[in-house]
Structure 1
């Protein structure tokens, strides 16, 4: 049951309105009436809270279902608001929105028929995050065309970015090609990370993507070769190109640990490296898979992994894929009209997919992706990443950089503008943002400190 509300009034007026969304957890639909001497009990517990939302776990015992209940919200201002809802399962997750950041609310559920109530459950909403960023940019490349595709932050003194950088020199070719830059806290160092081309040729080719667990556990991929860095040496772990007619070039990688790495790429390619070997997973699409992200689902006790696919400059087709072991589930994309380039989420709390527009859900199986209120920019958005649901960063064309602090979005394009370029990827960790891409024929890297 969804009760609509006026969100603007919540933010500006003295009255508070709530949207209540009930997520059934139990499959029970009816129960026999309890004995006359048994009195029902209602238990309300905090599951989570954002700046403007709360998730409350409702558990009932000996309650005849379906039942009519009341949810009372006690506001920080001293007033309260009550909504009535119908409950058909004994265990449910209540979703409340239109709250205010950094405030203490209390909630109580009551049974109208049985005159019983839960204990008041206090909820403290998250505070908004700071937007006090200062930005500094570097460019790399002195000949030909250079680019940075991806970036990973270990800490403020250990940052890696990958791509292809050409530096003119006195060598036989007149230049040397580098495929990474590393920040050690004082300067950027150009690096040549070894990788292998088909069938087993050592090269220093462009690196497409990077994912880091720690300073001694960093993963890279060229268009076909998965490489691991243990803090001292680089080693090849998988060669995805098994014949000369190869069309599954890697674009992005993600992993939960060193024995569970996924690489995704062109023409629907998904490769799973499981510590000793790898397998290709059939995605069911020929679209380019542009990004992948995962988060641990506390409810299912499993990793939830999503990927987005689109041929960005070729069509409006798109897919949202959920990877479950070696199988794929197609996720509803209703509400999304444009191509997709990136995904980030916190399981069961907030899901973002971006590209030509920003779309979000609070539950993956909600029927519609919300997009109209989040039309934030006229520029294409290439990557979304976050520290938390109140600290989200999106980057894209012409240096667009958008930050969500838990309540509102803000563009930093005046500070990060690229007149002839784009940010292709971004990472955020604690109070540091690093975005990478190209500006004209140069690779560009922009760091934001907060």
Structure 2
């Protein structure tokens, strides 16, 4: 006998996955042959110990954070809330292919097994309730069952040889499919209809109009809690901030600086023709910084050049504890500090861009940057603060040293609980560019494509912003009002 090449040897990398399911926390599980169970924690896939080598074909996430998996030889596993997989002793030898959680919390399993009295292989439905498995008998010779889905008031069931059933009030009816191909899965649509798919490209629906079945149901447009404000500029806006006295300012391209006066945005004189990327109200003068490393100060009537780095480096963020202690960060690892007399450059240990500053006080600050970089200031020096992501990070905010959020590229959202960072699933493709919060107004994230997220308890909820332009910065004021600014001079407000 000729030995098979090693490239065809059985190995985990060559093992196909047969089922996957996820929960609202962004976690997911997939199952396969030889008892393989993979778990996605929001960032990485890892194998979990299943304590079986039976082939698994179905997995289901329950609302109570339990997870079920099932497969051949009557194998049914449950992942408890401690993260351990345990076997549920099923006395039946069915090969299970489908799982469905019913409204009363019981579990419906579909598959098939060999019946001696019937002299062949038949499909089977099994109910698991109150710790007991019970085979359901409908006096119907069914082939192997492949999928179960809640459908209208009952359960839609598909199986081999084009068999299609509808279970309602524990009565099962065979539906005419006009198909003899094995049916493999069911997709319930938002219209209330369903698609059934199977071998040889089979796709079918019960709807008279197939195209209409695929269309989303008509819905009234969701009213946005945000309103678009009149803006005196069409230039891209980079930053919005609130001063100690409640005054709000925004800034952007071509020297744009805006001041909110009596609910209306007014344009201040331009510090220069250069882009202004950040502003900071010190309480005794407004500072503006941006291109070419220049910082300007506004005394209420005119601007004066306060500092010139004499380098083609853009300043991207500022924060200060008062008029005699202001920090600024920017491209190429730039960190500057103003002590009331002069600006001085601080060693950062990096050449990566730093996009913004968040501070608890003048002794504890964070600056996010390229490739997941976060620098932490301890009052004397800056050091790396590993977040566990390689995506660019643009904003950081927290209401304590043990409750901090960071946002960035491709929907990146991470949370620091005082001990470690943990990445959170947002399911957004948008880049998250700014985050801000206040006790009065709440906590908000903004990003590209008009993306807005609001923190509700410990859950982030998406909101309709009323615009599809990129939103670059957000400010949650002490007066229970939130402002966000972005492309084409867009300013939106949420009361």
TM-score range, shorter chain: 0.5 to 0.7
Deviation at 1:362, TM superposition (A): 1.2
Sort the Cα spacing of 1:157 and 1:248 in 2 relative to 1 into closer, same or farther, 3 A: closer
Contact 1:346 1:389 in 2 (8 A): no
* 8 A contact 1:158–1:185 mirrored in 2: no
Is contact 1:208-1:250 (8 Å) kept? yes
Match runs of 1:353-364 below 5 Å: 353-356=406-409, 357-363=412-418
2:328 to 235, 250, 263: 263
In structure 2, which of residues 428, 447, 461 is the aligned counterpart of residue 396 of structure 1?
447
Deviation, structure 1 residue 9: 5.4
Q: For residues 344-390 of structure 1, what are the alpha-carbon distances to aligned partners after superposition, in whole Å with 9 as ceiling and x for unaligned?
A: 12332211111031100110x42xx2214x42522110011111499
CA distance in 2, matches of 1:141, 1:427: 19
Q: CA–CA distance in 1 between the matches of 2:435 and 2:443?
A: 7
Query: What aligned pairs does 1:412-431 form with structure 2 within 5 A after superposition?
Result: 412=463, 414-418=464-468, 421-430=469-478, 431=480
State the partner residue of 2:251: 162
RMSD of the TM alignment (CA)?
3.1
- Find the partner of 1:384 among 425, 430, 435: 435
Gaps of at least 5 residues in structure 2 are 1-61, 66-80, 83-222
TM-score relative to the length of structure 2: 0.51
Any stretches of 5+ residues in structure 1 without a counterpart? 1-6, 11-16, 19-130, 166-177, 195-202, 297-301, 311-316
Q: Which has the larger radius of gyration?
A: 2
Asked if the contact 1:358–1:376 (Cα under 8 Å) also holds between the matched residues in 2, the reply is no
Contact residue 252 and residue 291 of structure 1 kept, 8 A: yes
Is the CA contact (8 Å cut-off) linking 1:358 and 1:371 kept in structure 2? Answer: yes
Contact 2:239 2:474 in 1 (8 A): yes
Query: Which of 207, 220, 223 is matched with 2:288 structurally?
Result: 220
Residues 316-346 of structure 1, C-alpha deviations (whole Å, 9 max, x = no match): x231101234521111222x24221111123
Partner of 2:401: 348
Deviation string for 1:190-225 (max 9, x for gaps)?
Answer: 22233xxxxxxxx343211012254x4432213222
2:360 touches 2:401 (CA, 8 Å); kept in 1? no
Q: Check whether the contact 1:147–1:437 (CA below 8 A) recurs between aligned residues.
A: yes
Q: Deviation of residue 258 (structure 1)?
A: 1.3
Aligned pairs for 1:271-310 within 5 A: 271-296=336-361, 303-310=363-370
2: CA distance, partners of 1:358 / 1:395: 12
Q: How many residues align?
A: 276
Q: Distance in 2 between matches of 1:191 and 1:289?
A: 27
Aligned partner of 1:436 in structure 2 is: 485
* 3-state SS of paired residue (2:450): coil
Give 1:133 deviation, angstroms: 3.6
CA–CA separation in structure 1 for the residues paired with 2:476 and 2:237: 16
Aligned to 1:382, the other structure's residue is in SS state strand
Cα contact 1:389–1:406 (8 A) shared by 2: no
Deviation at 1:236, TM superposition (A): 3.2
Query: Residue 308 of structure 1 contacts residue 318 of structure 1 at CA under 8 Å; is this kept in 2?
Result: yes
Aligned position for 1:320: 374
Q: Separation in 2 of the partners of 1:355 and 1:417?
A: 20
Q: Which residue of 2 is the match for residue 239 of structure 1?
A: 308
Q: Matches of 1:433 and 1:155 in 2, distance apart?
A: 16
SS of equivalent to 1:398: helix
Q: Structure 1 pair 154/285, CA: closer, same or farther in 2 (3 Å)?
A: closer
TM-score using structure 1 length: 0.55
1:251 partnered with 2:311: no
Take 1:156 and 1:256, find their aligned partners in 2: how far apart are those partners? 14
Q: Is the 8 A contact 1:247 1:266 kept in 2?
A: no
**Secondary structure class of the residue paired with 1:415:** coil
